[in-house]
Amino acid sequence: QVQPVESGGGLVQAGGSLRLSCAASGSISRINFMAWYRQAPGKQREAVAGITSNGNTNYADFVKGRFTISRDNAKNTVYLQMNSLEPEDTAVYFCNVLDLVLGTLWGQGTQVTVSS
């Protein structure tokens, strides 16, 4: 496979937690940056969190302190631990991979629904 594959989405109550996973193909040495985006119904896709090959992270203000992005280079995967989920977090979450050879790669997305 070429496209990254997300998993871990689902339905959770407000205040609950989910852990998203994204498995990327190809050589990890070509993947410089991995990130999570999300898109809620009727809204534009927005960046959630990103992590470099060095482990440097950045977060959107609306998830700071609640979400944690991490990366396992041995498994060629990126994770998004989501705690204290709110109904406003409901969206399709997409994995984004910057492959230095293939360019930007997007997963098909995984649905996260947070009930009030």
pLDDT per position as a tens digit, 28-48: 667 778 999 999 999 999 999
Residue 32, both tokens? 């410089």
Tell me, rounded to whole angstroms, the distance of Cα 43 from its chain centroid. Answer: 17
Residue with tokens 């992270």: 57
Residue 14's pLDDT is 98
Residue 77 · residue 26 · CB < 8 Å:
no
Residue 1 · residue 26 · CB < 8 Å:
no
pLDDT per position as a tens digit, 59-102: 999 998 999 999 988 888 999 999 999 999 999 999 999 888 88
Residue 5, both tokens? 């594959």
Name the residue among 80, 79, 89, 68 with its Cα closest to residue 15. Answer: 89
Q: Which residues pair with 38 in a beta bridge?
A: 46, 93
What is the rounded distance in angstroms from the CA atom of residue 90 to the CA atom of residue 2? 27
Residue 96 · residue 106 · CB < 8 Å:
yes
Residue 74's pLDDT is 83
